[in-house]
Amino acid sequence: MKNIAILTGGDSEERVISLKSGQVVRDHLPKDRYRPFLIDIQKADWREPDSGVQMDKNDFSLSLNGEKIRFDCAFAALHGTPLEDGKMQGYLEMLGVPYTCCNGYVSALTMNKHNTKLQLAQYGTVPMAKSVLLHRGEKADHNKLASLGLPLFVKPNTHGSSFGVTKVKSADALPTAIEEAFRFDKEVVVESFLPGREFSNGVLRVNGEVVVLPVTEIIPETEFFDFAAKYEGKSQEVTPADLSAELARQCQERSRFLYEALQCRGVVRFDYILVDDTFHFLEANTIPGISPASIVPQQARAHGWTLGGFFSLLIEEAIR
């Protein structure tokens, strides 16, 4: 029986999503193979929420009912900081605790939308929207922004769950959108609009081999795939997506390439806009949503796995 620390909570606006994700993992892990323990991370306060007992950060252990519990693996169910941005991974590695997500460097890189695009630009084979990076306190070059055309997307550079994201349809609305994005981050990305259908594709390793899951099409009821579309049922998600075999293959091959080029671990979800017959990369999610209704669990089920079986594969690969 393996002891599993399910890392949840966190310090960002995504905390509410993380708490739900952690509960889903605990509910679905096979109880004949694993003892799951939720660990709620809030800055330096790490505790098991049912008992209120604090984690001993000296050795990543928990003392419950006279038992000192050491963990065989940490399951990544914490969206945003301090896990999805890579801060915790070095600590876990120093203690020799396996974890089910990308390492600290890759997590920090992919959390930074602008730097991820710079990293991928060197290959010359990954179509992406044009974008401009803005820094808090610097004056925006409005001529450069205007060259991107309208509409535009304005988003925090290192934030998830669509917090602070605005679709801008007029130049007059741009300053307000930039100000809103700066509420969540010290850097903001202004990105050209890509007219097309939105798709998402999960990738993971199983027994050392890269497995690309079926593709999902996202059809939001809102203007774009925002918080309401992601978490309040305001979108339709079709898995497997209604695509020709050739287009599905193109998307899956691009996802495989990105997973290996970025040296990912665990399950990673890549988001795209299909413009004509070409998939344009939007961003990488190294700790994607894992509620039963979330995209990656939909893809795992379409692949033939139960949620518990899927989570087990992530744990066993991390330990392997």
Residues known to be catalytic: 14, 161, 231, 269, 271, 283, 285, 289
Query: Order of strands, edge to edge, in the sheet holding 268-275?
Result: 235-238, 209-220, 197-206, 268-275, 278-285
Q: Is residue 161 within 8 Å of residue 230, measured between CB atoms?
A: yes
DSSP tag of 173: G
Q: Is residue 163 within 8 Å of residue 103, measured between CB atoms?
A: no
Distance CA 197, CA 199 (A): 7
DSSP tag of 22: H
Residue 108 CA: distances (Å) to CA of 153, 220, 319:
22, 28, 22
Residue showing tokens 């969540």: 184
User: CB count, 10 Å around CB of 171?
Assistant: 12
Give me 129's structure tokens: 């929207």
Distance CA 37, CA 40 (A): 10
SS3 39: strand
Residue 178 CA: distances (Å) to CA of 13, 133, 148, 175, 193:
18, 11, 15, 5, 16
DSSP tag of 257: H
Residue 169 CA: distances (Å) to CA of 131, 145, 173, 192:
16, 13, 7, 11
Residue 300 CA: distances (Å) to CA of 80, 104, 120, 193:
23, 25, 27, 30
